[in-house]
Structure 1
């Protein structure tokens, strides 16, 4: 009986630890989703302004 109680205690501790890990991962996912959304909005605003050009290689920027 004592062996079963030890196993249950171990399993409960493991479940609690895993729950904390999952909660931390969800917080990180939420934070990253907010950052991606912010970057997408910023890029959309840049596209609307027309200033989202990229200079490739030795190509001169438009102000030359």
Structure 2
């Protein structure tokens, strides 16, 4: 969850490029990171797992809101 002084999270995916056998990820505000393929794979798995968990939390929060309104 963003704090009051933080910008909202981006609503578009980051850009991924491959250069000289390295994976580069760049996002808003010129944030960028360069990784080996092995680290990129591990990071991708962690992102997918975290996204699924966060989506589940959002689904639970939404269903609680609906239940509270009933």
> What range is the shorter-chain TM-score in?
0.5 to 0.7
**What residue number does 2:39 align with?**
14
Deviations 1:6-61 (A, max 9, x none): x85x810000000000000110011111100110001111xxxxxxxxxxxxxxxx
Greater relative CO, 1 or 2 (CA 8 Å, sep 6+): 2
Please state which structure has a larger fraction of its residues in helix: 1
Correspondence 1:1-64 to 2 at 5 A: 11-45=36-70
Q: Report the TM-score when normalising by structure 2.
A: 0.49
How many residues align? The count is 39
Please state which structure has a larger fraction of its residues in strand: 2
Which sections of structure 2, spanning at least 5 residues, go unmatched? 1-20, 23-34
Question: Looking at CA atoms only, which structure, 1 or 2, has the larger radius of gyration?
Answer: 1
Which sections of structure 1, spanning at least 5 residues, go unmatched? 1-6, 46-64
**How big is the alpha-carbon RMSD for the aligned residues of Structure 1 and Structure 2?**
2.2
